[in-house]
Amino acid sequence: MGILVLLAFFGLLLVMIYENSENRFLVLVVGTILFPTTALFTKNPSISPQHILLYTFLFLEYWKDRRNFNDSLFKNPLSIPITLILFSYTATAFFNSGIASKDMYYGVRDCIDTFGYIMAAYISGKNIDISSFAKKFFPIVIAICIFGIIEGLLNANYPYKIINSAFPLYEGLYDLNGDVGLGQSWRTRTCFTTKHPTAFGTLLMSLFLFYLPQIHQQVIARSKLLLLLSLLFVCIVVSGSRTALVCTIFGAAIYIIDRFSILAKIAVFGLIAISFSAIMAFLLANFQQGGQGRGSSLDFRTQQLIFSVLAIENSPILGNGNKYTANYILEENDKGEKRAEDSSGQDMGGLESIVFTLLIDRGAVGLLTYYLLLLWIFCIFFKNKKKYLETKGGFALIFAGTAFLTLSGVIGNSSSFLFLFTGVQLGYIKQRQLLEEDGDSPPATEADEP
């Protein structure tokens, strides 16, 4: 089976080389999902199938359409926040270790491995049709849902084991020599081919909110879309990721409510406020103080925040260094989990929220520039939500995604899923704007909606 997995990987690379931009992007998305960050070709430097696919994609886009690549890189709507993020990485490396240091290398790698996905998606979005891509990707999403549900029912994950076993090195949480089952006595858990249920939850949430606006298009039959959304929701529940469930519901609610009139929105928000008071009381009662083995509680998150603040008391502005948390704070335990401990030896978990790792690594500047990027993306989507129907759900996706990263972090490079599906929509908006400037395409309006 390992040989077949490697053949599939190199086959995807060949398809990426010889196909057009839309199919290259499809291969990038499929490959990012199928080959987790736990599978490695080399450890130092860390090279995974995900890295190879991303770097190959960016190289091919530069080689085959250099003008679009350069315009996308230097004249994109995210130039300001991304430039500030680059400054954050550079300043952190310079003031902690100097430019010619491992710190700088970690910064460059982290920047490309994180934000390369949104740039790759943006480059492709300028050349493809969102609805056409969604239709091509549709059967793959169905397959993901089926595998996820079966995994939950059987409490056995065969794809994860087969794929990770095919590569020379493995850095995961589960023993590949035995049965891989993530289910717990009090909840099911699934991860499909991602590193962790949280990463799988990020993928499922992103897919749900990406396909939800497609209901108002005519490319995919509404009955098929409703089936897909139902399967995705079931898969989210089975994944055991509470963050994914809450953020998906929240994102869908924002998208649906936005379609109402002003008075209707006020009325709906009032009803939601009344209805959710009971739900919030339940959540606080159950998660204010988490029991042993029951996941992170609100109290535990507070302890993690205090730990993070104390960790940057000597460098609150620029942090301790790029990838400092991963290299110096998180240590692997007997179960293969990387966790932090405070000075008294108390377990601080994996510092799951993106807030904690950003503070420790790059300080206040790193934290603010990261959230500025997310806010910038939200503003672009919100500004264009009534103009381009194919991307009108983008603001709900980035809003829910920001909440997800804040609550549960980026385990297994989960932000790549969010950036892929938001970046391609940003590129499509730019494509439509350029066509309108050339007079080749009339702007879409609410009146165009079927």
Q: What is the mean pLDDT of residues 5-30?
A: 93
| Amino acid residing at 34 | L
Residue 312's pLDDT is 87
Cβ neighbours of 84 (radius 10 Å)? 17
Is 318 within 8 Å of 365 (Cβ atoms)?
Answer: yes
pLDDT higher for 91 or 256? 91
62 band by pLDDT with thresholds 50, 70 and 90: very high
Q: What is the mean pLDDT of residues 92-105?
A: 88
CA dist., res. 426 & res. 395, Å (int): 11
Q: What is the mean pLDDT of residues 92-109?
A: 89
Q: What is the mean pLDDT of residues 265-283?
A: 56
Which segment, 64-68, 265-269, 389-393, is predicted with the most confidence on average?
Answer: 64-68
Is 156 within 8 Å of 180 (Cβ atoms)?
Answer: yes
pLDDT higher for 411 or 258? 411
Res 293 pLDDT > 60: no
Please name every residue paired with 244 in a beta bridge, in sequence order, or none if there are none.
none
Res 57 pLDDT > 50: yes
Per DSSP bridges, beta strands 169-170 and 39-40 are antiparallel
pLDDT higher for 339 or 152? 152
Res 51 pLDDT > 70: yes
DSSP-derived secondary structure for 95-132: HHT-SSSHHHHHHHHHHHHHHHHHHHHHHHHTTS-HHH
Res 436 pLDDT > 70: yes
Mean pLDDT for the chain overall: 86
How far is C-alpha 327 from the geometric centre of its chain's CA atoms?
A: 22
Residue 302's pLDDT is 77
pLDDT above 70: percentage of residues in the chain: 87
Mind listing the pLDDT tens digit for each residue in 217-272? 778 899 999 999 999 999 999 998 889 999 999 899 888 888 766 666 566 566 65
CA angle 343, 348, 351 (to 5 degrees): 125
450 band by pLDDT with thresholds 50, 70 and 90: very low
Instruction: Write down the pTM of the prediction.
Output: 0.90
Res 141 pLDDT > 90: yes
Mind listing the pLDDT tens digit for each residue in 344-376? 777 777 787 899 999 999 999 999 999 999 999
Mind listing the pLDDT tens digit for each residue in 320-337? 999 988 888 887 766 666
Cβ-Cβ contacts under 8 Å for 423 (sequence gap 6 or more): 117, 118, 119, 120, 121, 122, 125
Of 153-162, 250-259, 406-415, give the lowest mean pLDDT range: 250-259
Angle of helix 102-125 relative to helix 79-96, nearest 10 degrees, comes to: 170
Res 276 pLDDT > 60: no
Residue 448's pLDDT is 41
